[in-house]
Structure 1
């Protein structure tokens, strides 16, 4: 959401002739909080507390009817309110129960309330609109063979619903999804009630879900399809829920049953799982990536059913997305430049898991990454200051430097301070910043405190340098001109 400065909005009454002179009101503008990589996203004007999304699905080629209710609190007086929203048609808008004018500016929806909203005041925005799944090439709704799913990273949630589409503003979510009978709808969090008839005489069912923890918009997930929902129990009685194409239920079970072990493995290393449920959502779609949507990670069906992916690789990718539930979902990046904190950590545990399987050692993977690191930095920038995405290709932000190039930073840190201190940092990071946002400087500060010495001078070249520093403990390692492992047919772990 975004803010403009106060403007004169009434007509001016001439004192002698009583001539009404119209005020010149500037046109609405697309605004943003100034994120270095996505400068037009977000709005510092207020803090979103919750989203309540109602979606009515017909088929995956027809716009969904939708109602979005946003509860927030203002941070300063608002004359105009900017939300991120595109690929939908707005029918009506209300601000605190009163009709509001609405206009589009770029990828913003700009509301003009009947009267300014004061600073530090409750703010409720109600929007009736459509959500169009057609013509996507850069995130948002993902059409599947039998319905829809969501893939909103990095900045595509506003292609689905009006929102403050920046990870710095986390909020609670409620989803109310209506779909034709015979289909199943799922979303982040847990069911609020049992599915119910949408309305008397209709052949549709409404499903309602709610998150117990705040969530960034890029992590929202709604899946609608002819799906099987598979329930089991994880560590500490954690309810697990997998959502798969119904026809593939039995075929996918050997993969689904691995999740309790993956959870126990991660908990041994970083502590208790941070949310109310977990599971995998396997979509019959070709996306080119897997995605850590909160409590329900999105995977391509082909990862599990296609030829060419060894079992150890598939398992390590499953662990990658699970690790994101701690690193990226519970602890969310303050800015998109802090993306390395998500992907570097998830890649670290992916690599550590593969190492434990005895298939691809951590040291070998880090040595190979070191050989390629200078080239990755030249192509994509250093880990904590990545280059922006290519024009029209938002997904290109996810280059090798934010994966293995960033895991290499963690390996160097462990080499410098030792395994015991490193492991304590990992646990403290996810415990102290749970359900909140944090950035690179927060990590450097916490690591320094745990190590008992200021690590700024050590970490800064690793995080911001154009060249890769020498690797502690490995004077024999040297950089090279190796080709980054991209375009080789393996799915991107987002």
Structure 2
């Protein structure tokens, strides 16, 4: 599922039910009509035509402070979200994304505010309008039984997924709203602090690093985590349960934390070791690691997919091999540090992470990237992959195989066209210039031409935007 399902061979794809789809029979849905809004209300969506109600265009979130308590026995969540933001216009009201859950109270800058609900939209109205460019803080108290998003297309099941001993939380593309109010679109990145209370004996895992040792009082234990680097909402997690853990540092000194459900105890050492080695290797290929810790989590929920949650990739119900770990950790650069502005550019995440698998295979003396490319290129012109141009991902078929495989093939075709010196220079310049920012396909194409000194319109048009098999080089 998610942008992180690694394509690692036919046998594995048969196991992972979340594998990118291979057909192109799902048409883009008609854009949802939006109701007119006051000019002093933030737009009902952030401006992504494919997901018209996700996010809000009237403000920019700087920080989420999430104080959360979850009881697995009752499947009940209590939360307080404190959101620090900057207005991008005068705001008489604005909305956040929140699915289900009951809102008890709202304050804006310490004063009670009114609120209303419509579908997954939570609209807040401050006592007095917020001025353009003003900083403000919204505090929302809420509770209830969080439920995941169940999508009949290849988006599948995602968001807050209750498990027997806790929860498996993987939110791509827009499942953060299932457990906290958010500007739930990758165009709005923010920093996060988490304070998570669970029954004693369970572990609460979140992004970033633990800022203090867990505190137990009575039958409850509280964990505090902080992700000090900007993060998109779909990468946030509060995965809970029983875990065996190993923490240390990679050879280059990056904090490395591996956690596995006891059912997968035998995979702990491999997860820890390969996460460290691959993180360090990618740092030599893609540029310095953009975050303060690495690692991974294996839970016993059979999601059938992995997701690149920032600093803590999640593997749902299986023991990941090197290729999948390489894919998810490549996303720490491509998707996490460099995040898309619009979902139509998803190939910038998935094509690069897929190609990273091929680079890892090449690095370890297995198949070369070119051999893997040629294997896929041998597919007949009638194969569905060629009919789905990956440069504009479809909202109801985001995780189509073309976005992954043909996206990765685009990266290799570019490498062949400009040569290795320019190609690997381009990778490092791309990640360095856009560290912690949002990016677009047009930006990447422009940089590729600048670094290589070549005109590349025809290459990108054939590989990203044309609904047929490109001609052989």
TM-score range, shorter chain: 0.7 to 0.9
2:370 aligned to which of 363, 380, 390: 363
Determine whether 1:50 maps to 2:63: yes
- The 5-angstrom pairing of residues 304-453 of structure 1 reads 304=320, 314-372=321-379, 375-377=383-385, 381-389=388-396, 396-453=397-454
Distance 1:440 1:239 in 2: 32
Structure 1 gaps of 5+ residues are: 8-27, 305-313, 390-395, 473-494
Runs in 1 of length 4+ with deviation above 6 angstroms? none
1:140 is matched with which residue? Answer: 159
- Structure 2: how far apart are the matches of 1:49 and 1:376? 42
How is 1:109-148 mapped onto 2 (pairs within 5 angstroms)?
Answer: 109-130=122-143, 132-134=145-147, 136-137=149-150, 138-148=157-167
Provide, for residues 467-494 of structure 1, a one-character-per-residue CA deviation record: whole Å limited to 9, x for no partner: 232232xxxxxxxxxxxxxxxxxxxxxx
Q: Does 1:195 align with 2:223?
A: no
Aligned to 2:304: 288
* Larger RCO, structure (CA 8 Å, separation 6 or more): 2
Q: Does 1:272 align with 2:288?
A: yes
Contact kept? 2:66, 2:80, Cα under 8 Å: yes
Shift of residue 255, structure 1, vs aligned partner: 3.6
Distance 1:46 1:377 in 2: 38
CA displacement at 1:456 relative to structure 2 = 2.6
CA separation of 1:152/1:214 partners in 2, compared to 1, >3 Å: closer, same or farther? same
Give the structure 1 partner of residue 227 of structure 2: 211
| Counterpart position of 1:224 | 240
Tell me the SS of whatever aligns to 1:214: strand
Distance 1:430 1:236 in 2: 19
Q: Give the conservation status (yes or no) of the 8 Å contact 2:369–2:412.
A: no
Per the TM alignment, residue 136 of structure 1 is displaced from its structure 2 partner at its CA by: 4.6
After superposition, the C-alpha distances for 1:430-484 in whole angstroms (9 at most, x for unaligned) are 1111111111011011101101133234322322111232232xxxxxxxxxxxx
CA deviation after TM superposition for structure 1 residue 195, in Å: 1.5
Deviation string for 1:120-172 (max 9, x for gaps)?
11111100002533465331112334211211001111111100011010000
Q: Max radius of gyration: which structure?
A: 1
Task: Give unmatched runs, 5+ long, in structure 2.
Answer: 1-34, 151-156
- Residues 229 and 374 (structure 1), Cα distance of their counterparts in 2 relative to 1, 3 Å cut: same
1:77-92 equivalences under 5 Å are: 77-92=90-105
Q: Deviations over 1:79-114 (max 9, x none)?
A: 111111112111111112111111112211111211
How far the C-alpha of 1:359 sits from its partner, in A, is: 4.1
Say whether the 8 Å CA contact 2:343–2:395 is kept in structure 1.
Answer: no
Call closer, same or farther: CA 1:60–1:50 in 2, change over 3 Å: farther
Q: 1:31 aligns with which of 44, 53, 61?
A: 44
| RMSD of Structure 2 on Structure 1 (CA) | 2.2
Residues paired across the two proteins, number: 432
